[in-house]
Amino acid sequence: MLIADDAQGVHAALREAERSLSAAEVPVGCVIVHAGAIIGRGFNQVETLKDATAHAEMIAIGAASAALGSWRLNECTLYVTLEPCSMCAGAIVLARLGRLVYGASDPKAGACGSVLDVIGEPRLNHRVEITAGVLAEDCGSLLRSFFEKRRREARAERAPRDPGN
């Protein structure tokens, strides 16, 4: 599948996020594109792998680096459904990605301007072009529905049980 524009890239990331959802993970997905082709994919697998670093972006960066045979991804664009956290933003800079396109902003942990600005830190030796808010409503809706369901399930677990049952 060739990615011709940012909306297509975020749509591909949304498909990866749906894989997270199927695995009861926070639904974040990511793809990395080079010359129009997807060379890396990732979806959150923190719970599945019992690994705090198994974020969608980290997995996709590893796959893209393997596909290109280089850790330098300067001619690539990373598409992700949620604004990267500080760990992932740092990895994006270290991998020398050329562009970052994300869907929903993260007001709790976003490190691309929402809470922190790791990518925009002027003392770093690499600059990443950022496009924010592509398909933000679709990306945000997927996350909201996941967390609403989780809260309902948590309330149901805490609800008093009928002693007659």
**Boundaries of every domain in the chain:** 6-155
Tell me what pLDDT residue 160 has: 76
Tell me what pLDDT residue 116 has: 97
What's the pTM value of the predicted model, to 2 decimals?
A: 0.93
Tell me what pLDDT residue 1 has: 74
Annotated binding residue at 112?
A: no
Annotated binding residue at 126?
A: no
Tell me what pLDDT residue 158 has: 85
- pLDDT < 70: residue spans in the chain: 162-165
Taking the C-alpha atoms of residue 111 and residue 118, their distance in angstroms, rounded to an integer, is: 6
For the record, the structure tokens of 59 come out as 């997995």
First to last CA, the chain: 54
Annotated binding residue at 85?
A: yes
Into which CATH architecture does domain 6-155 fall? 3-Layer(aba) Sandwich (3.40)
Which DSSP symbol is given to 162?
P
CB neighbourhood size of 85 (10 A):
22
Q: Name residues whose C-beta falls within 8 Å of residue 153's C-beta, 6 or more positions apart in sequence.
A: none
Q: Which residues are part of the catalytic machinery?
A: 57
57-78 pLDDT per residue, tens: 999 999 999 999 999 999 999 9
Tell me what pLDDT residue 162 has: 65
